[in-house]
């Protein structure tokens, strides 16, 4: 038997309903674009960027970061009580991206280490991503933790 991916299965659970309203998102002018932007109520500007893995065009690395240059220590400076809306916005961006890239088979995330926690195996942010992934991913996707990375990938089906 050959394994294959189902491209018509949803990324998120059917009953997923975000607890927090996402910030307005600036989507790429071209549907296949990889850079999305949003701004929080406190004026922080974020970029969410999707990069293809070297070994497979269907596998993605998701990176989001603050674009405001005034912050040297992004982790502590950006925690303005907006984290749950920021996460809800990143989830919405992933939903939009996946809708336009339905053949994607994996998404990988890793969180920065907070100053003083660099000796940990896994960052607090990565653990937050893992918890959120477990809440929202459709059962047709598997969630794995590898070091400081959370990887969600579509389960293969047998023909």
* pLDDT score, position 75: 46
- The answer to whether residues 59 and 103 touch, using CB atoms and an 8 Å cutoff, is no
In the three-class reduction of DSSP (H, G, I as helix; E, B as strand; rest coil), residue 97 is classed as helix
* pLDDT score, position 77: 46
Q: Compute the distance between CA of residue 135 and CA of residue 55 in angstroms, rounded to an integer.
A: 28
User: What is 3-158's CATH topology?
Assistant: Aminopeptidase (3.40.630)
Q: DSSP letter at 44?
A: -
- In order of 39, 80, 151, the CA distances from 83 in angstroms are 12, 7, 21
DSSP per position, 50-79? EEEETTEEEEEEEEEEE--TT-SSHHHHT-
90's CB contacts (< 8 A; 6+ apart) are 48, 62, 64
* pLDDT score, position 49: 96
The structural domains of the chain, with segments of one domain joined by +, span 3-158
Q: Which two tokens stand for residue 114?
A: 């907070």
Q: DSSP letter at 137?
A: B
Give 10-residue mean pLDDT values along the chain (159 residues). 64 90 96 94 93 92 84 51 88 94 92 74 87 94 94 81
């Amino acid at each position: 038997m050959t394994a294959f991916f189902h491209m018509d299965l949803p990324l998120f659970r059917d009953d997923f309903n975000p607890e927090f309203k996402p910030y307005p998102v600036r989507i790429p002018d071209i549907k296949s674009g990889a850079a999305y932007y949003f701004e929080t109520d406190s004026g922080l500007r974020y970029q969410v960027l999707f990069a293809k893995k070297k070994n497979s065009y269907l596998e993605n690395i998701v990176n989001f970061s603050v674009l405001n240059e005034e912050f040297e220590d992004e982790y502590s400076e950006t925690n303005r009580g907006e984290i749950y809306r920021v996460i809800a916005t990143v989830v919405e961006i992933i939903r939009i991206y996946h809708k336009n890239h339905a053949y994607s088979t994996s998404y990988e995330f890793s969180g920065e280490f907070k100053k003083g926690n660099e000796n940990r195996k896994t960052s607090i942010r990565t653990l937050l991503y893992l918890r959120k992934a477990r809440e929202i991913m459709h059962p047709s996707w598997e969630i794995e933790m590898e070091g400081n990375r959370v990887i969600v990938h579509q389960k293969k089906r047998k023909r």
